[in-house]
Amino acid sequence: MAQLSKDEEAFGALMSVAQAAERAGSLVAPLAGAQNVALAEADGRVLARDIVARLDLPPFANSAVDGYAVRFADLAPAGESRLRLSGRVAAGADASGTATAGVAVRVFTGAPMPPGADTVFMQEDVGLEDGFVRLPAGLRIGANARPAGEDIACGETALKAGQRLRPQDLALLAALGLIEVSVHRRPRVAIFSTGDELSEPGEALAPAAIYDANRSLLRAMVARAGAEVVDLGILRDEPVGLAQRLSEAAASCDLILTSGGVSTGEEDHVKAAVERAGSLAFWRIGIKPGRPVAMGLVGATPFIGLPGNPVAVFVTFAFVARPLLARLAGAHFVAPTPLPVRLGFPYAKKAGRREYVRVSLTPAADGVMVARKHPQNGAGVLTSLTRTDGLVELTEALTRIEEGTIAPFFAYGLLIG
């Protein structure tokens, strides 16, 4: 039977990342309310309602290429066909009334198909002579012709509620003729850092002080997650004042997000402040970097307390806070899919915790990407994030990982929205 660590004896067993995500999700409900926004302002917003196509896309049968439209039935059953050239239809023109029986019609990309025509020969595949078009054998019926509704049919669901809109989604909505869309309200997220040692960038540093990097990190990550940032600055290590500021933030925001002050040190006051102003659901997760992560409620407003070290802030936001924020925003969160890479290093870890190792990728001779571990492991080493490509995930059951092992890799782009 596994022995408990001193921390586990004192504070209870660590919660797994999956358990923490499930527990956090149970404490958060999607925000009520929706608003209509112009399509030009909808990138990154979360759809509040399904979008049902009000027309076929494309709305009419059209040519996919510059070429010659024919009726397949007019082609010779074998060998080359020879049809008289009659008519011309450009994109945007009206093709109704264009004769097609026994003839070829000159068409251009996007032009409506002439009535009865069902197949298009590419212009570079045909020959022209004396007003006739020579058409090679072998083309299938319907080639190079796009039927109405080929992309999406009228009445079909184009996009589902809960989807975070991307540029390609906006293109689809524009093609369907929409000029505005109903989206969920953006969550208002209050962020602040805690610690007497912190100074604002630009200020003169006092002895033993450091500049606050975490709020810059969180501002950007929260904004990329589609929320509105309410920056509350730096809060000093004073328990009663912290509790009051938490309560004030809860009154006007949908989520409170802090960094620092949630560990077990005598000067870590955020955990106690949350318990004074509300309730704590959990605060220790089996994740490295980032074990002390607090989750609770201040009044009815959810609270997440991240660790103080910036690398731990990045990792715990990506894997714990981001899914919760997506649920709050009404989005269907889809966990990023890692890519398999080959480890270029051995690694030892404790059982029972999930570790994320900062790595850079290089291709091996066989084409497989090899992950090289950053030389510095510290959770406060910011350059370990800026000089690497992503994180290798090592699950709870692993203890000794040999060089050459295939492991899941998360590129940073997958983790920041």
Which of the four pLDDT bands, split at 50, 70 and 90, describes residue 273? confident
For 205-251, how does the pLDDT look when each residue is reduced to its tens digit (9 = 90+)?
988 999 999 999 999 999 999 999 999 998 877 777 788 889 999 99
* CATH 2.170.190.11 domain extents, the chain: 62-146
Cβ 123 vs Cβ 69: under 8 Å: no
Strands (E) across 58-152 are located at 62-63, 67-70, 81-89, 103-107, 119-122, 127-129, 132-135, 145-146
User: What are 407's strand-pairing partners?
Assistant: 341
Instruction: Return residue ranges of the chain for CATH 3.40.980.10.
Output: 6-33+186-328
Q: pLDDT band for position 263 (50/70/90)?
A: low
**Distance between CA 174 and CA 48 in Å, rounded?**
17
Helix (H, G, I), strand (E, B) or coil at 142: coil
- CA nearest neighbour of 247 among 264, 259, 235: 235
pLDDT per position as a tens digit, 104-131: 999 999 999 999 999 999 999 999 999 9
Give the model's pLDDT for residue 14: 79
Q: Return the DSSP state at 161.
A: T
Q: pLDDT, tens digit, for every residue of 296-312?
A: 899 889 999 898 899 99
CATH superfamily, domain at 34-56+160-184 = Molybdopterin biosynthesis moea protein, domain 2 (3.90.105.10)
The residues of the chain that CATH labels 3.90.105.10 are 34-56+160-184
Q: Select from 96, 98, 93, 85 the least CA-distant residue to 130.
A: 85
**What letter does residue 150 receive in the DSSP assignment?**
S
Bridge partners, 292 (sequence order): 284
**pLDDT attached to residue 56:** 98
Q: What is the pLDDT of residues 139-164, one digit of tens each?
A: 999 999 999 999 999 999 999 999 99
Beta pairing partners, 304 = 257, 295
Identify the burial level of 46 via C-beta atoms within 10 angstroms of its C-beta, where 0-12 means exposed, 13-18 middle and 19 or more buried: buried
Q: What is the pLDDT of residues 66-88, one digit of tens each?
A: 999 999 999 999 999 999 999 99
Stretch 1-20: mean pLDDT, rounded?
Answer: 56
385: tokens are 């994030």
CATH number of 62-146: 2.170.190.11
Whether the upstream peptide bond of residue 207 has omega within 30° of 0, thus cis, is no
How much is the pLDDT for 262? 65
**Mean pLDDT over all residues of the chain?**
91
* Cα–Cα dist 118/146, whole Å: 9
CA distance 295 to 305: 6
**Percent of all residues in the chain with a pLDDT value above 70, rounded to a whole number:** 94
Rounded mean pLDDT, 92-113: 96
As its CATH architecture, domain 6-33+186-328 has 3-Layer(aba) Sandwich (3.40)
CATH number of 339-415: 2.40.340.10
Sign of the CA dihedral with 261 first, then 264, 269, and 273 last: positive
pLDDT at res. 80: 95
Length of the chain: 417
Please report the pLDDT score of residue 311 as a whole number.
96
Side chain identity at 12, as an amino acid letter? G
